[in-house]
């Protein structure tokens, strides 16, 4: 056969594959109904393993891996279809609960609002809040949980908190509090972080014996601190570290903080931009007590707990792949008190209300032990 004849033959095969593929997916509701009538679980891992084992035995040795991969993806798509049908039977599936919080298309993100931040004036959270809201009324709290409590109790409408740094990774305490309080993320900001070494006027760099800052800032400047050969001491916030240095009688301490702290606390910058990486960004999120999605939201944050067994993460990633959803973050974290069990943070890009978005929210239960939907939002720079 010449090339044109081969291509025609391939096209005929592909047409048959498309027809058979649709026929197979059309059977998904019948499978669900039959299992519901029999009182059997909808998803049967044993059946899936037996099916793949039979395919492996029937496949030629040199094509075994390809066929296993193909049928694994095919069965995953079939499970998606079954989940979609189950969601249609459910009066309140996760996707519908999420869509019900979507505001009208002409709704605008607030220009001014009462905002809770952790730290004091000059903290990076305050800088982020001032970028996220044009005219925020900011109240400061000592801890991350203080911010959550302020929003919970109605003292503030919103909270602004750091959730991830490009160098130090996720801020696990914020994720834990999001899950505990069941709050939602409604917007995020990627803020360039430039740490500065500051001290009281007249202090010389060579006199410094101790550097104080938040643990994330210390981690982001670890190489610089090591090169100085000084002690690193943690503070609850970078701006609070600057405030402490300004009020201290010692002349051998310095803080790592934002440039704005220089004027706020009458300090001098001994060295600028001391972070180890020039590409140092922190993502800040706006949290609310009541779930709401503003128009234009295309980023979604999830936390999944997966079973400790081979292939558990692969099945989740396969689900994203089958739905053609782009992952922009995947980070694992051990679950405290559970040996070798992990939770995973996922951020994905997918327009809210799209079919892949709706299907994903309704089809995660069969590939993870549990998951938490933190909200959908727009990220600004």
Looking at the annotation, which residues are catalytic?
282, 284
Q: What is the 3-state secondary structure (H, E, C) of 314-354?
A: HHHHHHHHHCCCEEEEEEEEECCCCCCCEEEEEEEECCCCC
Query: Strand 210-214 and strand 231-235: pairing?
Result: parallel
- Distance of alpha carbon 309 from alpha carbon 330, whole angstroms: 18
* Tokens linked to 295: 């128009």
| Strand positions, DSSP E, the chain | 112-118, 135-141, 158-165, 169-170, 184-192, 196-199, 210-214, 231-235, 253-257, 268-271, 281-288, 299-305, 326-334, 342-349, 370-380
Query: Strand 158-165 and strand 342-349: pairing?
Result: unpaired
User: 2-29 b/e with 16+ CB inside 10 Å = b?
Assistant: eeeeeeeeeeeeeeeeeeeeeeebeebb
């Amino acid at each position: 056969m010449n090339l044109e004849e081969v291509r025609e033959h391939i096209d005929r095969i592909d047409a048959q594959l498309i027809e058979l593929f649709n026929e197979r997916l059309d059977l998904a509701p019948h499978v669900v109904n039959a299992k519901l009538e029999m009182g059997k679980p909808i998803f049967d891992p044993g059946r899936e393993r037996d099916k793949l084992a039979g395919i492996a035995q029937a496949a030629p040795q040199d094509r075994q891996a390809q066929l296993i991969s193909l049928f694994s993806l095919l069965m995953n798509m079939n499970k998606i279809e079954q989940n979609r049908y189950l969601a249609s039977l459910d009066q309140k599936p996760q996707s519908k609960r999420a869509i019900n919080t979507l505001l009208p298309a002409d709704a605008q993100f607030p220009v001014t609002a009462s905002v809770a931040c952790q730290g004091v004036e000059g903290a990076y959270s305050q800088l982020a809040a001032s970028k996220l809201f044009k005219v925020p009324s900011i109240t400061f709290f000592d801890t991350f949980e203080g911010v959550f409590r302020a929003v919970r109790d109605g003292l503030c409408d919103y909270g602004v908190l750091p959730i991830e740094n490009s160098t130090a990774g996720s801020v696990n305490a914020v994720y834990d509090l999001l899950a505990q309080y069941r709050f939602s993320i409604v917007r995020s900001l990627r803020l360039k972080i430039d740490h500065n070494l500051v001290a009281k006027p007249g202090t010389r760099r060579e006199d410094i014996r101790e550097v104080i800052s938040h643990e994330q800032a210390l981690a982001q400047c670890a190489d610089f601190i090591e090169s100085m050969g000084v002690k690193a001491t943690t503070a609850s916030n970078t701006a609070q570290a600057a405030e402490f240095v300004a009020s201290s009688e010692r002349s051998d301490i310095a803080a790592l903080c934002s440039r704005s702290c220089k004027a706020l606390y009458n300090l001098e910058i001994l060295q600028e931009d001391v972070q180890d990486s020039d590409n140092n960004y922190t993502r800040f999120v706006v949290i609310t007590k009541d779930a709401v999605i503003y128009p234009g939201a295309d980023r979604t944050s999830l936390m999944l707990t997966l079973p400790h067994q081979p292939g558990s993460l692969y099945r989740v990633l396969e689900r994203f792949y089958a739905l053609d959803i782009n992952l922009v973050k995947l980070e694992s974290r051990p679950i405290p008190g559970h040996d070798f069990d992990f939770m995973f943070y996922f951020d994905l890009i997918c327009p809210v209300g799209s079919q892949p978005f709706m299907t994903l929210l309704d089809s995660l239960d069969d590939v993870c032990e549990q998951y938490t939907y933190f909200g959908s939002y727009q990220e600004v720079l």
